[in-house]
């Protein structure tokens, strides 16, 4: 994701940059940079424009890393207004590109998920899980612990997305190594089939190509909610890891008033509940009970192992060097 060229990875859903490039502000317009999937973005934009008929939203979609680099490159002439959403650790590394703002909605989000001086606001969190296909797992028994994946019986049966391209996979693997130590972590990686994208992992399990995958809660649960009875979502007994995501206003944005309206909408209880009900992205707002809206457990019922976001971001480059060495020696 971080290596992809901007020209190849950016998908412009609605483009208005010929006019924006002149530097002239356009009333009633807001430009959203988003790393979320097309369906989620389209749903949110449609609902926002319905409630705000005087504002038109233009969208640029790309990976978080590509969008961060774009915001940095456009600092002298920003073409975007709002960024939504990326990992908080990654956003922290690009904080210079954001505009402080205290939304009236921020009180529903715990302080640990808010940026300093209102530089960003947490919106949702991914939960690292194991996704298992009960028809493919050895002896019909899904793994219950991360450490089980080091057993030789899982050789070639586990899918792990490449953490060079998947931030969520990086969080999970970083957490597993910290939790279990280098030896067990290395055995898990050597047992795994490394896939290039997060979707290749969870789709592979759903299609029966793999018995299990390290993936995100929302991705696995969509198959359970869709009635695929052979799919099981496992919260490993040792504990699991969170990948909180957030949004920010872009510094120097040309449409600040409209940007704040979109930001407040994205932070609102109604919008985040709608996103969860349609895409199962777990909101960070404390006033949304996901257990009442789905078959997922409340966050308080999941054993979570805290990771230091700043340390994790600082360790990323060295971790990935070691990752490449480990995979190449496999």
Binding site listing:
218
Tell me the Cα Rg of the chain.
20
77 Cβ contact partners less than 8 Å away, ≥ 6 residues apart: 21, 23
Please state the residue numbers annotated as binding site for Fe cation: 218
Residue pair 301/239 in contact (Cβ under 8 Å)? The answer is no
Structure-token pair, residue 295: 């078959």
Residue pair 174/314 in contact (Cβ under 8 Å)? The answer is no
Question: Regarding beta strands 121-133 and 242-250, do their DSSP bridges make them parallel or antiparallel, or are they unpaired?
Answer: antiparallel
Report which of 304, 160, 177, 178 is spatially closest to residue 244, judged by C-alpha positions: 304
Please, which residues bridge with residue 82 across strands? 32, 249
Residue pair 293/277 in contact (Cβ under 8 Å)? The answer is yes
| Dist CA 269 CA 252 (whole Å) | 27
Q: Helix axis angle, 309-328 relative to 182-191, nearest 10°?
A: 50
Report which of 162, 164, 160 is spatially closest to residue 204, judged by C-alpha positions: 160
116 Cβ contact partners less than 8 Å away, ≥ 6 residues apart: 95
259 Cβ contact partners less than 8 Å away, ≥ 6 residues apart: 30, 81, 82, 249, 250, 253
Q: How far from the centroid of its chain's Cα atoms is residue 94's Cα? A: 16
Residue pair 33/82 in contact (Cβ under 8 Å)? The answer is yes
Residue pair 92/313 in contact (Cβ under 8 Å)? The answer is yes
């Amino acid at each position: 994701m971080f290596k992809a060229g901007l020209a190849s990875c950016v998908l412009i859903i609605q483009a208005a940059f010929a006019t924006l490039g002149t530097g002239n502000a356009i009333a009633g317009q807001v430009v959203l940079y988003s790393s979320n999937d097309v369906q989620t973005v389209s749903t949110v934009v449609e609902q926002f424009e319905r409630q705000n008929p005087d504002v038109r939203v233009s969208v640029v979609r790309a990976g978080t890393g590509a969008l961060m680099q774009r915001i940095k490159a456009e600092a002298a002439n920003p073409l975007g207004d709002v960024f939504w959403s990326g990992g908080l650790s990654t956003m922290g590394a690009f904080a210079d590109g954001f505009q402080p703002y205290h939304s009236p909605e921020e009180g529903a989000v715990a302080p640990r998920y808010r940026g300093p001086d209102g530089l960003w606001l947490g919106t949702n969190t991914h939960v690292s899980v194991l996704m298992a296909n009960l028809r493919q797992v050895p002896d019909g028994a899904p793994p219950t612990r991360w450490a089980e994946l080091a057993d030789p019986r899982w050789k070639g049966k586990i899918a792990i997305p490449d953490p060079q391209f998947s931030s969520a996979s990086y969080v999970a693997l970083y957490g597993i190594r910290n939790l279990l130590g280098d030896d067990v972590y290395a055995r898990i990686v050597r047992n795994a089939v490394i896939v290039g994208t997060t979707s290749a992992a969870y789709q592979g399990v759903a299609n029966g190509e793999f018995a299990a995958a390290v993936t995100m809660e929302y991705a696995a649960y969509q198959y359970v909610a869709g009635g695929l009875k052979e799919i099981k979502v496992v919260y490993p007994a040792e504990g699991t890891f969170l990948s909180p995501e957030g949004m920010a206003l872009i510094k120097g944005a040309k449409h600040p008033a409209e940007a704040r309206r979109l930001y407040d909408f994205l932070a609102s209880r109604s919008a985040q509940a709608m996103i969860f009900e349609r895409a199962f992205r777990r909101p960070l707002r404390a006033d949304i009970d996901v257990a009442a809206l789905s078959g997922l457990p409340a966050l308080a019922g999941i054993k979570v192992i805290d990771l230091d976001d700043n340390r994790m971001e600082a360790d990323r480059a060295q971790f990935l060097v070691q990752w490449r060495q480990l995979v190449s020696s496999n």
